[in-house]
Amino acid sequence: MKVYITGTTEINKSLIQEVCDELNAPKGLMSFGALDVISQKELSKIDKSFNNINMIDSLFFTDLFKICDDYRHENNIKDDEFVILLTSIRNNANWFSATKNRNVFIDINDWDKFTGKNPKYGISYQVVENIFQSLIGIDYTNAPSHPNVHIENDGCINDFCQNKLKVVIKLRTADICLSCQKKAAELSVDKNIMNNIQEITENIRKNVRKLNTYNNVRLEKVTINKNGKIKIGNKKIEINELPSTLFIFFLNQEKPTSKTSLKKYFRKIYEIYGKVNGRGNKDTIENLINPNGKAFRQNKWRVNHAIGNSISESLLGYYIIDEVEGEKYFISLSKEYKEIDENMTL
């Protein structure tokens, strides 16, 4: 069974590849193929309202499935094959993901926060979860009332997880409860697909657990030079000016800072940006710190993702900009591991 994974235009191709690698690791009946992301031009063709996708803060489920359908059509993907759309654009119900027929979208934001791990694990899990749901007749319209969607968490792949932080429970149990297994048998879901789903979730579980051992943690210093270049140990973190600015700002903060209080720091953030960028643009920074805008989340994700690609996953939690309590953000690394050139202090 073929599963094609793509993304909206802002998604990094390397993330799609990492997710496919994770899913293809146990050899089974499903094969996961990484496709190119959908360009802005293609999106505009699908619907005029997608003309500037980077400025859209949230989409309706119907919009997201429209993108999947169009992509399926353009690429001659068969009706019984899956199209998975990864996106950083929120959906209006703020769900992790949803399924309609053989189309699936997945919100890629904050998986590092929900799982404390490289986002690829949570995203990969969502892929198989939605495939399983599709195979047993669950879609976004019937999910809230479907007898096999568990509103009370019980560690099954079909837990609803209204409290998003609880999603990590099912990653760690890698379980399909008896009633959901029965449902699959009733609907004659191929046993080999069921085995493949179990092997993939089991593999994710092992990887997530393996990384839970905090023995041998050896932290390295983060250094920021006078031009705002970031290094962890000897590794350069290659990111653009805007995510760099956000990182440098948070690295300077000694306690959690809420998104809504960022406007108090406008001048300071603007100054850092000016030094990193050499020019500096007030609108860009206003956009970045707008608590209702999308730029904060996107740039936070960019820097966290770049760090995730550079250091071992067991250390990730120390270096990323993390949501530590409701809407408050912080880098939890202690002072002795920070070396910030005085040009880059606040």
User: Based on CB atoms, which residue is closest to Zn ion, 198 or 304?
Assistant: 198
- In the complex, what is the shortest distance from the CB of residue 234 to Zn ion, in angstroms, rounded to a whole number? 47
- In the complex, what is the shortest distance from the CB of residue 152 to Zn ion, in angstroms, rounded to a whole number? 11
- In the complex, what is the shortest distance from the CB of residue 147 to Zn ion, in angstroms, rounded to a whole number? 10
Give how far Cα 288 sits from Cα of 56, 116, 292, 327, Å.
14, 24, 10, 15
- In the complex, what is the shortest distance from the CB of residue 148 to Zn ion, in angstroms, rounded to a whole number? 6
Residues engaged in binding Zn ion (CB under 5 A): 156, 158, 177, 180
Q: 305: closest CA among 103, 118, 60?
A: 118
User: Based on CB atoms, which residue is closest to Zn ion, 64 or 180?
Assistant: 180
Helix ranges (H only) for the chain are 13-24, 40-46, 61-74, 111-115, 119-135, 167-173, 178-186, 191-210, 241-252, 266-277, 282-289, 295-308, 316-319
User: Based on CB atoms, which residue is closest to Zn ion, 56 or 177?
Assistant: 177
- In the complex, what is the shortest distance from the CB of residue 253 to Zn ion, in angstroms, rounded to a whole number? 42
- For tokens 């789903």, what's the residue? 197
Structural tokens at position 138: 């669950």
Give how far Cα 293 sits from Cα of 54, 253, 297, Å.
10, 22, 8
- The sign of the dihedral angle between the CA atoms of 258, 230, 286, 301 is negative
CA-to-CA distance for 313 and 323, rounded, in angstroms? 17
User: Based on CB atoms, which residue is closest to Zn ion, 146 or 297?
Assistant: 146
Q: What is the CA radius of gyration of the chain?
A: 21
User: Based on CB atoms, which residue is closest to Zn ion, 147 or 278?
Assistant: 147
CA-to-CA distance for 331 and 317, rounded, in angstroms? 8
Helix ranges (H only) for 253-338 are 266-277, 282-289, 295-308, 316-319
User: Based on CB atoms, which residue is closest to Zn ion, 169 or 177?
Assistant: 177
User: Based on CB atoms, which residue is closest to Zn ion, 180 or 230?
Assistant: 180
Q: 116: closest CA among 172, 157, 197, 173?
A: 172
Write the single-letter amino acid at 213: T
- In the complex, what is the shortest distance from the CB of residue 149 to Zn ion, in angstroms, rounded to a whole number? 8
User: Based on CB atoms, which residue is closest to Zn ion, 5 or 157?
Assistant: 157
Strands 103-107 and 82-87: parallel
- In the complex, what is the shortest distance from the CB of residue 194 to Zn ion, in angstroms, rounded to a whole number? 13
- In the complex, what is the shortest distance from the CB of residue 150 to Zn ion, in angstroms, rounded to a whole number? 6
